[in-house]
A and B are shown apart, each in its own frame.
Chain A
């Protein structure tokens, strides 16, 4: 394949990845990794090096819009980042001792199982607004955003400790496997902290960049960041993420949950298949 062909294909795939990644808060690596390894025959280490860049691109490209429009809850995101970054460091430290087959099988299954509560909430617009108490109150884990029709949605977060635990798992997984953190972040905020779906995906999107940046140094030092792959991925992802962010702000919560459920099913399948080297 010619360099030019490779660049154009990867650019187009990455735009698509950026759109979906930014809407569901997962980072476009769910799309770029299988395309790179299965379709383009790129070594898996290069694909993981590119996934770090694609996650940071998805996050930063969309976050400027999400933060400005108050879709991202800054306090929730920054509080939970303590757990994701700690988890990522521990994960990276124990990665050599870990059996990636078992890990992928276990976490892929957890993702698949978490489809059930996600599907049970299909059609839910806003969660019942819990009262702001305890730690959530002390940390001011509350917020509001404007729906496209102009209504202001006020919400409070509940279960900050459960959220923190879920985030530690998400970080651990990113550190261990370099993948899968975003899905656990959205699930923690949606299921444990009862945030509106759009806020959960936009806040996850805000956080995944920091988790990925935490391990970027290691991949650079190993030579896993291949500029020929990274350039079209970064540019496509950034463009896609800007498009996706505009869509999310205007979309309804139930629609975002449906898209998330589809991507979650895909991510679970991908993780289980990759356990078997597919």
Chain B
């Protein structure tokens, strides 16, 4: 029981740090957004037809010039990465305990998760 308690402590800390880091980045991005556009009309920013899917290039250059949207996207990516890192770290925690069943279970979950996150966006079947 003591061992699974220490696993719980580590996972709890991973989740807490992930949440705090993403919140800090999103707050910074939101403040930048309000400073730039706070008193302008929100309607054009909410027009779905004008939406822009971020590319790696636009995201990187947006971050470099502290564009509010890119900063917020970075925060969202950290938030999305938080449960993923939780699964990743669980694999190592169970492996360190020589718990083969749960090392395998978490490894399967991690593989499915990474496949779904990183591979399926490029498969036409999933473009819906």
Contacts and interface: CB of A to CB of B under 8 A. Distances in A.
A3 B105 contact: no
Nearest to A86: B112
A79 interface: yes
A217 B120 contact: yes
Interface string B25-51: 011011001100111111101101001
Interface stretch (A187-195, A223-231, A270-278): A223-231
Interface in B63-105: 68-69, 72-73, 75-76, 79-84, 86-87, 90, 101-102, 105
B126 to A, nearest CB: 5
B54 A70 contact: no
Interface SS majority for chain A: helix
A102 interface: no
A81 B87 CA distance: 10
Contact of B8 (A67, A214, A225): A67
Interface in B3-27: 4-5, 7-9, 11-13, 15-16, 18-19, 22-23, 26-27
A234 B26 contact: yes
B39 A2 contact: yes
Interface residues of B, number: 67
Interface SS majority for chain B: helix
Interface in A28-71: 41-43, 45-46, 52-53, 56-57, 59-61, 63-65, 67-68, 70
A74 interface: yes
A60 B18 contact: yes
A93 B12 CA distance: 33
Interface of B: 4-5, 7-9, 11-13, 15-16, 18-19, 22-23, 26-27, 29-30, 33-34, 37-43, 45-46, 48, 51-54, 68-69, 72-73, 75-76, 79-84, 86-87, 90, 101-102, 105-106, 108-109, 112-113, 115-118, 120-121, 125-128
7 contacts: A7-B30, A82-B108, A226-B46, A227-B76, A228-B45, A228-B46, A231-B72
Given A41-B46, A217-B116, A223-B53, 17 more contacts: A3-B39, A4-B39, A67-B15, A70-B5, A70-B8, A78-B109, A81-B87, A82-B112, A93-B126, A209-B83, A209-B86, A210-B109, A217-B120, A220-B121, A227-B72, A228-B45, A231-B75
